[in-house]
Amino acid sequence: MSVRTRLAPSPTGDPHLGSAYAALFNRAFAHQNGGEFILRIEDTDQTRNRAESESAIFDVLRWLGLDWDEGPDIGGECGPYRQSERLAIYKEHMEQLLASGGAFRCFCTKERLDEMRRQQIQAGKTSKYDGKCLTVDPAEAEERAARGEPHVIRLRVPEEGECRFVDGVRGDVTIPWSQVDMQVLIKSDGFPTYHFASTVDDHLMGITHIFRGEEWINSFPKHQLIYQNFGWDMPKHYHLPLLRNPDQSKMSKRKNATSINYYRRCGFLRESLLNYLATMGWSMPEEREKFSMDEFYADFTPNRLSPRGPVFDIEKLSWLNGLYIRELSSEELKARVFDWAFGGERLDRLVSLVRERSERFDDLFPKVDYILGDRVDLTEQDFEHKKLELSDSKKVLEFVNRALGEVEQWNRDSLYESLNQLAGLMNVKFKDFLFPVFVAISGRSVTLPLFDSLELLERDIVTIRIRSAIEALGGISNKERKRLDKEWRTLVD
């Protein structure tokens, strides 16, 4: 049997570094064993899917060179590779599971569940479904379901004993069944949850090994139960450590740049990003720190995976990146810098923006400095303004970041629309409103047109620059954040 691995991201936002991290090990393991690496899109949450996200995932994984052997865009023998297109498959399997008693219909209301959880936590117990609907007679449940009564389908979990399993990274792990929730497998909208869909798909797609984040380790018993109910062999699991922020917490948007595209737009090379990621929680036999993907694929072994969560250190990544830059031939470096700065439509866009504002060639370049390079560090003085207090500017920036987070199509016009609307809601004259944004983005108040700049800079760089500007203005305390949250809600409702 051939080794098959997969990456199963959900298209709910900017492709995360953690996805690249998992992809790296999955792909390496499959390919060094002559197997296949599969990309599957986990789009079972109808409320969170974002249209642009799927293509962003394709784009960024291809940029990294982590391409796949089967996937939604290229097909394969186990398609379709988008879960929203596999609903009939899940339905059929669920009928089987229901018939065997491995799952049951649950008609409990959200209110009852909320109250139940509240009480459990208060009583110091693990919060989980209490099994009320387990007592509903299956025939009656079928009847109620047939009449269209809203309900979900849950996994039946043993009440006693423990689930033992082997994690390829940590060894034996034991979790008492009493801690495992009767997970919802089919939601009331008829869509499966991750737990059900991905287990069924992993089996049907012949997945043999799974490298995934440690955050899944507690879900393992549920998945195991599903495999057992169907009588399927289970893939071997390796739970990778979670990438961390400098304060050791799970790497998050709030404290770090987590989007792959951010690193790409900052001008990191794919070679160094991948190389660096491969040294997180894994090491080369001779402790070599700089190595190519070919070398990695040759030497990778799960034995050298460590369970300890590594802090993602952008300083060390930068050092590595410098090594790679110096190693490139002049020709190659030239081509890659050019592509990074001016690839696609970027050169045309920049030229058209700059020509109207220039009289000599030598004032062309200073105008685009903040687009092609990082902007200068900011201080409070940079935000002195005759109409806006520093605290006003800070609030504007915070709200701008929130508004921008909701913009789906990252282009000049929708960005304009979003911020223009926000200025109206905040009752600040647009020109004044824009001032702190100009400064945050470019480091000065007079620049190329703002919305073109935002578009060219792309989402991740913009978000980070605004955040760092907020820091320059003293940052936001927890108390302040609470107040702003409230104000934001009244604003957008």
Catalytic site residues? 253
> Segment contacting RNA (CB under 7 A): 85-93, 190-198, 364-372, 446-454?
190-198
Of positions 14, 201, 214, 455, contacts RNA by CB under 7 A: 214
Residue 9 binds RNA, judged by CB under 7 A: yes
Q: Which region, judged by CB under 7 A, interacts with RNA, from 194-202, 365-373, 409-417, 419-427?
A: 194-202
DSSP H stretches of helix in 302-429: 314-327, 330-342, 346-355, 369-372, 390-405, 412-426
Please select the residue that binds RNA; options are 173, 333, 364, 425, rule is CB under 7 A.
Answer: 173
Q: What residues from 244 to 283 belong to the interface with RNA (CB under 7 A)?
A: 244, 247-250, 279-283
The correct pick among 87, 89, 136, 323 for binding RNA (CB under 7 A) is 323
Residues in the chain: 493
Q: Which of 174, 381, 427, 477 binds RNA (CB under 7 A)?
A: 174
Q: Which stretches of 100-211 are DSSP H helices?
A: 110-122, 138-146, 194-204
Q: What CA–CA distance (Å, rounded) separates 226 from 459?
A: 40
- Residue 304 touching RNA (CB under 7 A): yes
Kindly state whether residue 478 participates in binding RNA, applying the rule CB under 7 A. Answer: no
150 is an interface residue for RNA by CB under 7 A:
yes
Name which of 25, 34, 23 is nearest 68 in CA terms: 23
Q: Measuring CA to CA, how many Å separate 218 from each of 180, 357, 424?
A: 8, 58, 46
Sites for RNA among residues 402-431 (CB under 7 A): none
- Nearer CB in complex with RNA: 34/171: 171
Closest to 381 (Cα-Cα) out of 446, 475, 473, 463: 473
* One-letter amino acid for residue 62 of the chain: R
Residues binding RNA: number (CB under 7 A): 76
Q: Cβ of residue 314: shortest distance to RNA, in angstroms?
A: 9
Under the binding rule (CB under 7 A), the answer on residue 166 touching RNA is no
The dihedral over CA atoms of 67, 70, 74, 75, expressed in degrees to the nearest 10, equals -170
Residue from the set 5, 53, 193, 463 that interacts with RNA by CB under 7 A? 193
**What is the chain's Cα-based Rg?**
26
> By CB under 7 A, what part of segment 93-122 binds RNA?
108-110, 113, 117, 121
Q: Which of 112, 17, 13 is nearest to 56 (CA)?
A: 13
Strand ranges, E, within 27-159:
36-39, 103-106, 152-155
468 near 460, Cβ under 8 Å?
no
Is 126 a residue that touches RNA (CB under 7 A)?
yes
Could you tell me which stretch among 59-67, 87-95, 237-245, 255-263 binds RNA (CB under 7 A)? 237-245
CA distance 398 to 471: 10
Q: Which of 135, 137, 161, 308 binds RNA (CB under 7 A)?
A: 308
CB of 253 to RNA, least distance (A): 12
What residues contact 289, with CB distance under 8 A and at least 6 apart?
Answer: 279, 320
Q: Is 8 in the site for RNA (CB under 7 A)?
A: yes
Distance of CA 164 to the CA centre of its chain: 30
User: Is residue 34 close enough to count as binding RNA by CB under 7 A?
Assistant: no
CB closer to RNA, 175 vs 425: 175
Interaction between residue 310 and RNA (CB under 7 A): yes
41-70 binders of RNA (CB under 7 A): 42, 44-45, 47-48
- Closest approach of RNA to the CB of residue 343, in Å: 25
- C-beta separation of 43 from 49 below 8 A: yes
Nearest approach in angstroms of CB 399 to RNA is: 24
